[in-house]
């Protein structure tokens, strides 16, 4: 089954064709990130205006790329759409103007082709980047979605039974990266910028306890709850930045050190809570998705902890998508739609900016 999916929930305009939920036949992304870099963050109306410009070229390009695979000669839009079985689209959560661009485009395609259309929740879909490429994580699994607006833990008993375990009380992990980067003047998006700066931090010699002079809190790390909170971290970063500025010491070295500590704090909390949930629910797999899953340090910490054998239990298998599949794109939207095949008449599909995941 070939699914053409459209994703426009934030600042990306993306379309992809995926076969049987796992094989990416084409995937195209137009990002307005460079545009948003100039303003230091996303301006919702500007994002939607950019997406309106990109959506038709992006969908056409995804279909044209598909013809290279199918060797189709008839490259008219209606000819190319015949290669598709089903349509899928992100209907929330996200920015309303942005979502509308994708939703209305997908509905129009469903109307003119008469094909089924599956509305997709962007947050659940992030998890399915781990099924792309033919991987088959075993259930039960613990899934962590860490993106710009969400930090959510799920228990997956099967594709059909997904239970929300907890989320953030305030800021998301990606938001903590983005806001901290902004305070440090490192630009947008903040996650990759902090990660890059953190890499330059000179670690003390081996056998020396890794430490920085700058110490930030690890919010809620000690509690057994599966909730997160990152707003206190942002406040602590602000305090530290102000202190360094007042002392005229917000130089490259301290920015590097602070970036390192921000990344350590966020990843420590994510690792601790995810492993706690995995043990509690006896998970066979740990599945990570969302933009922050592209963070190398997060992967390093999870992999190294899970490589130590536990007495009497088998460690869960870790799944993290390659970085380009962690950040927003349409391939995992198609994969989710394949495993959750619930078509809805196009007239009934509406964009839901505050769509939630608490099931």
Q: Which residues fall within 8 angstroms of residue 299, CB to CB, at 6 or more apart?
A: 293, 320
DSSP codes joined into one string, 183-219: HTT--SSHHHHHHHHHHTS-PPPTTSPP--SS----T
* Inter-CA distances, 164 with 142, 168, 230, 273, 312, Å: 10, 12, 19, 14, 28
- Using CB under 5 A as the binding rule, the residues of this chain from 143 to 202 that contact Zn ion are 147
Interaction site with ligand KG4 (CB under 6 A): 10, 147-149, 174, 177-178, 189-192, 195, 290-292, 294-295, 327-328
CB nearer to ligand KG4: pick between 281 and 290: 290
CB nearer to ligand KG4: pick between 137 and 291: 291
Preceding omega of 160 cis (within 30 degrees of 0) = no
What phi and psi, each to the nearest 5 degrees, are found at residue 17? Answer: -120, 125
**Smallest distance, Zn ion to C-beta of residue 31, A:** 12
**Smallest distance, ligand KG4 to C-beta of residue 178, A:** 5
List the single partner that 219 binds among ligand KG4, Zn ion, none, CB under 5 to 8 Å by kind: none
Beta pairing partners, 343: none
Helix (H, G, I), strand (E, B) or coil at 89: strand
List the single partner that 137 binds among Zn ion, ligand KG4, none, CB under 5 to 8 Å by kind: none
- Using CB under 5 A as the binding rule, the residues of this chain from 273 to 332 that contact Zn ion are 328
**Smallest distance, ligand KG4 to C-beta of residue 321, A:** 11
List the single partner that 295 binds among ligand KG4, Zn ion, none, CB under 5 to 8 Å by kind: ligand KG4
CB nearer to ligand KG4: pick between 115 and 148: 148
CB nearer to Zn ion: pick between 152 and 261: 152
Q: Which residue is nearest to ligand KG4 (CB)?
A: 191
Euclidean distance between CA atoms 221 and 33, whole angstroms: 32
List the single partner that 329 binds among ligand KG4, Zn ion, none, CB under 5 to 8 Å by kind: none
**Smallest distance, ligand KG4 to C-beta of residue 242, A:** 23
Q: Which residue is nearest to Zn ion (CB)?
A: 147
**Smallest distance, ligand KG4 to C-beta of residue 343, A:** 24
- Using CB under 5 A as the binding rule, the residues of this chain from 111 to 150 that contact Zn ion are 147
Number of residues near Zn ion (by CB under 5 A): 2
CB nearer to Zn ion: pick between 261 and 328: 328
List the single partner that 192 binds among Zn ion, ligand KG4, none, CB under 5 to 8 Å by kind: ligand KG4
Q: What 8-state DSSP symbol labels residue 348?
A: G
Distance in angstroms between the alpha carbons of the first and the last residue of the chain: 28
Q: Are 359 and 163 in contact (CB under 8 A)?
A: yes
Q: Are 154 and 125 in contact (CB under 8 A)?
A: no
Q: 10 Å Cβ neighbour count for 42?
A: 20
Q: Which residues fall within 8 angstroms of residue 118, CB to CB, at 6 or more apart?
A: 3, 86, 87, 88, 89, 337, 340, 341, 342, 343, 344
List the single partner that 174 binds among ligand KG4, Zn ion, none, CB under 5 to 8 Å by kind: ligand KG4
List the single partner that 149 binds among ligand KG4, Zn ion, none, CB under 5 to 8 Å by kind: ligand KG4
Preceding omega of 17 cis (within 30 degrees of 0) = no
**Smallest distance, ligand KG4 to C-beta of residue 205, A:** 26
* CA 283-192-174 angle, 5° bins: 55
**Smallest distance, ligand KG4 to C-beta of residue 29, A:** 10
List the single partner that 105 binds among Zn ion, ligand KG4, none, CB under 5 to 8 Å by kind: none
Q: Helices marked H in 2-138 — which ranges? A: 33-37, 44-70, 77-81, 96-113, 122-127
Q: Nearest-CA neighbor of 290 among 126, 112, 173? A: 126
List the single partner that 190 binds among ligand KG4, Zn ion, none, CB under 5 to 8 Å by kind: ligand KG4
**Smallest distance, Zn ion to C-beta of residue 152, A:** 11
Residues that bind Zn ion (CB under 5 A): 147, 328
């Amino acid at each position: 089954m070939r699914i053409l999916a459209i994703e426009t929930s934030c600042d990306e305009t993306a379309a992809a064709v995926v076969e049987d939920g796992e094989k990416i036949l084409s995937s195209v992304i137009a990002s307005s990130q460079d545009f948003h870099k100039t303003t230091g963050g996303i301006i919702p109306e500007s994002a939607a205006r950019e997406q309106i410009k990109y959506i038709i070229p992006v969908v056409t390009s995804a279909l044209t790329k598909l013809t290279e695979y199918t060797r189709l000669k008839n490259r008219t839009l209606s000819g190319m759409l015949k290669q598709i079985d089903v349509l899928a689209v992100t209907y929330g959560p996200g920015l309303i103007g942005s979502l509308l661009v994708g939703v209305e485009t997908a509905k129009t395609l469903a109307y003119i082709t008469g094909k089924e259309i599956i509305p997709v929740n962007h947050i659940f879909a992030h998890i399915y980047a781990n099924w792309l490429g033919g991987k088959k994580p075993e259930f039960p699994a613990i899934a962590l979605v860490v993106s710009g607006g969400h930090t959510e833990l799920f228990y997956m008993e099967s594709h059909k039974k997904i239970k929300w375990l907890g989320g953030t009380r305030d800021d998301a992990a990606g938001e903590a990266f983005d806001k901290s980067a902004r305070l440090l003047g490192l630009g947008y998006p903040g996650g990759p910028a902090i990660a890059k700066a953190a890499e330059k931090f000179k670690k003390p010699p081996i056998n020396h306890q890794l430490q920085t002079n700058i110490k930030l809190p690890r919010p809620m790390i000690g509690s057994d709850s599966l909730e997160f909170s990152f707003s206190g971290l942002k406040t602590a970063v602000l305090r530290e930045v102000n202190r360094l500025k007042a002392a005229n010491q917000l130089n490259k070295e301290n920015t590097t050190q602070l970036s390192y500590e921000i990344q350590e704090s966020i990843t420590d909390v994510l690792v601790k809570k995810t492993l706690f949930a995995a043990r509690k629910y006896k998970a066979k797999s740990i599945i990570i998705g969302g933009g922050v899953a592209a963070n190398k340090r997060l992967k390093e910490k999870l992999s190294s902890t899970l490589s130590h054998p536990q007495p009497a239990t088998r460690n869960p298998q870790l799944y993290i998508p390659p970085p380009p599949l962690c950040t927003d794109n349409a391939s995992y939207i198609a994969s989710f739609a394949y495993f959750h095949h619930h078509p809805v008449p196009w007239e009934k599909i509406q964009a839901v900016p505050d769509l939630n995941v608490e099931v």
